């Protein structure tokens, strides 16, 4: 009986040992499988960042670097516009054969170094229109040269001094017809009749390179009419007394300009000038120039130009002009 009990105990202990061994092996396998599926996390090991110790190295004269800074920015534009129309003799809708040519040249240079700034801009434009059976007419005629020197006072304010010259190339005419119906022309203006020279100093507000406003508290303008006989056909004579060729005025002046690409290949350029003579502040001269240019490609562009002008020395009414041109423009910038 005792042997039977001992044998039964040994049998039970053996089964228990096998069961425990199987469970242990199964747990180890599970852990091993889990370990194979687990990957180490990023940056589990601490990494020490290297410490840099910069060292100043002096260069001798033989190995020195020759560096020059160019403080000048230049832009040159050449332009040519051509408009032409022709009709057959039996064209039922009617029309006049015409040819119009126009050219322009502009140059702008800008020098900026620390708190000093110098800007010079030249604009020259000339165009003619010839209609069949009529005398030729000008479409545009302008000489414009502006120079400015400025000293920076703050981020957006400058103290400036400027000199500006403006005139035209060719005769300007008034067209009419005689008793026989033939066209005739009467001269109204020419080169240096009038010509304007304006000196100004004051303060300029320029928050960025695209926009500025100049407030000229001290401004003088000289008007030249070198052809003293011009008053016979132009009674106002641009404010200069008949027989005289020169007039000087002291005034308050405001000049503002905006020049920026407002959309892709579309540039808007405006310039407004206000001139108020201290002797007659009620009559203020104003001129607004606006040009919208769309670039078709690097050479071809389409432009619309408008001018609104009031000057009581030339007319008692507001004057305006508008032109649209399709032409070539070549730009050089550095």
Q: What is the pLDDT of residue 44?
A: 58
The pLDDT assigned to 79 comes to 94
Residue 126: name the closest of 166, 81, 165, 186 by CA: 81
pLDDT attached to residue 117 = 96
What pLDDT is attached to residue 53?
Answer: 75
Distance CA 174, CA 189 (A): 10
Q: What is the pLDDT of residue 87?
A: 86
Ramachandran class of 15: left when φ > 0, alpha when ψ lies in -120 to 50, beta otherwise = alpha
Q: In terms of Cα–Cα distance, which of 244, 222, 234 is closest to 315?
A: 234
pLDDT in tens, the chain (334 residues): 544 444 444 554 454 454 544 444 444 444 444 444 455 555 556 667 777 778 776 766 555 666 788 999 999 999 999 888 898 888 888 788 999 999 999 999 999 999 999 999 999 999 999 998 899 999 999 999 999 999 999 999 999 999 999 999 999 999 999 888 889 999 999 999 999 999 999 999 999 999 999 999 999 999 999 999 999 999 999 999 999 999 999 999 999 999 999 999 999 999 999 999 999 888 899 999 999 999 999 899 999 999 999 999 999 999 999 988 889 999 998 8
Q: What is the dihedral of CA 138, 320, 322, 100, to 10 degrees?
A: -10
Write down the pLDDT at residue 24: 44
In this prediction, residue 42 carries a pLDDT of: 54
Nearest-5° Cα angle at 333, 110 to 272: 50
**Cβ atoms of residues 247 and 240 within 8 Å:** yes
């Amino acid at each position: 009986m005792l042997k039977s009990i001992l044998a039964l105990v040994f049998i039970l202990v053996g089964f228990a040992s096998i069961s425990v061994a199987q469970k242990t092996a199964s747990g180890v396998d599970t852990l091993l499988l889990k370990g194979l599926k687990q990957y180490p996390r990023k940056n589990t090991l601490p990494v020490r960042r290297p410490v840099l110790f910069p060292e100043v190295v002096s260069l001798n004269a033989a190995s020195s670097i020759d560096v020059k800074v160019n403080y000048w920015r230049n832009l040159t534009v050449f332009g040519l516009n051509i408009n032409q129309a022709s009709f057959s003799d039996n064209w039922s809708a009617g029309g006049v054969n015409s040819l119009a040519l126009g050219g322009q040249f502009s140059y702008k240079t800008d020098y900026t170094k620390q708190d000093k700034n110098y800007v010079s801009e030249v604009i020259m434009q000339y165009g003619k229109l010839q209609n069949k059976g009529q005398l030729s007419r000008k479409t545009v005629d302008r000489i414009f040269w502006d120079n400015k020197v400025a000293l920076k006072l703050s981020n957006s304010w400058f103290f400036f001094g400027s000199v500006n010259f403006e005139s035209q190339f060719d005769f300007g005419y008034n067209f009419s017809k005689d008793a026989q119906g033939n066209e005739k022309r009467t001269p109204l203006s020419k080169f240096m009749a009038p010509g304007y020279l304006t000196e100004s100093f004051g303060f300029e507000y320029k928050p960025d390179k695209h926009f500025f406003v100049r407030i000229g508290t001290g401004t003088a303008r000289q008007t030249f009419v070198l052809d003293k006989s011009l008053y016979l056909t132009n009674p106002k004579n641009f404010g200069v007394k008949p027989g005289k060729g020169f007039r000087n005025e002291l005034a308050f002046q405001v000049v503002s300009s905006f020049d920026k690409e407002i959309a892709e290949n579309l540039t808007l350029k405006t310039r407004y000038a206000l001139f108020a003579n201290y002797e007659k502040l009620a009559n203020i001269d104003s001129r607004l120039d606006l040009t919208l240019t769309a670039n078709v490609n690097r050479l071809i562009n389409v432009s619309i130009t408008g001018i609104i002008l009031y000057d009581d020395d030339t007319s008692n009414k507001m004057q305006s002009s508008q032109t649209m041109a399709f032409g070539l423009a070549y730009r050089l910038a550095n």
